[in-house]
Amino acid sequence: MANSYSFDIVSTVDMQEVDNAINQAKKEISQRYDFKGSKIEIQLINDEIKLTADDNFKLTAVIEVLKGKFVKRGVSPKSLDFGKVEEASLGSARQTAKIVKGISKEKAKLINTDIKDSKIKVQTQIMDDVLRVTGKDKDYLQQVIALVKGKDYGLDLQFTNYR
C-alpha cells in the first residue's frame, strides 16, 4: 500500500474541439436568417479567436453562438478570455478571445490558499501551470477535489494523474 497519494489540478483545452466548434459556428452563422447580408468573421490564429461583426449587437450574437458550440463540443466557455470590444471601420465591431491554457501563478496561489485555509491534511505544490496535491489518505484528496469544484476560479479545471 502506498504511503502517499497525489493528483494534479490542470486547465487544458482540446484545440481540435475548439477548431470544430469554430467551424460549426461559422456554418450556423452562414445559414441563419438574422445574419443574412452581414459581414461576420471568426478566425482562429494560434491561441486567439478574432471575431468581427457589423455592430455590437451582432457581435454579441456571434459570441453566444460560439459559446453554444463550445459547450456542445465539450469545451468550457470559461477557457475563453474575451478582450474589450474595439470599434473597427464603417461602424463594425471587433473583439479577440484568448484561449486560456494552464493555471496562471495568481490563480494557482488562490487555489493553494483555499486548500490551506480548509485545514485538510494535504500538501500542495505549484509546478508551472499545474498544481499538485499530495496526501496520506485518498479521502483527503477527495475532499480537496470537492472543495475546488465547489468554488469558481474562472477556469475550466480538470483533475488528472490520480495515484
Q: What is the pLDDT of residues 2-24, one digit of tens each?
A: 578 889 989 888 899 999 999 99
Residues in the chain: 163
**Domain tally, the chain:** 2
What does the pLDDT look like over 37-46, one tens digit per residue? 888 899 999 8
The verdict on 146 and 113 lying in the same domain is yes
Mean pLDDT score of the chain, rounded to an integer?
A: 88
The verdict on 124 and 50 lying in the same domain is no
For the entire predicted model, the pTM comes to 0.81
Minimal CA–CA distance to 140: which of 114, 159, 112, 121?
121
The verdict on 123 and 151 lying in the same domain is yes
The verdict on 86 and 129 lying in the same domain is no
> What pLDDT does 2 receive?
58
The verdict on 53 and 111 lying in the same domain is no
The verdict on 66 and 81 lying in the same domain is yes
What are the cell numbers at 110? 488562490
**CB-CB contact of 155 with 12 (8 Å):** no
What does the pLDDT look like over 92-122, one tens digit per residue? 889 999 998 888 888 888 998 998 998 888 9
CATH number, domain of 70, equals 3.30.70.990
Integer distance in angstroms from the first to the last C-alpha of the chain? 12
List Cβ<8 Å contacts ≥24 apart for 28-31.
28/65, 28/69, 29/62, 29/65
Per-residue DSSP letter, 54: S
Confidence of residue 26 (pLDDT cuts 50, 70, 90): very high
The verdict on 86 and 53 lying in the same domain is yes
Range of the domain at 136: 5-12+102-160
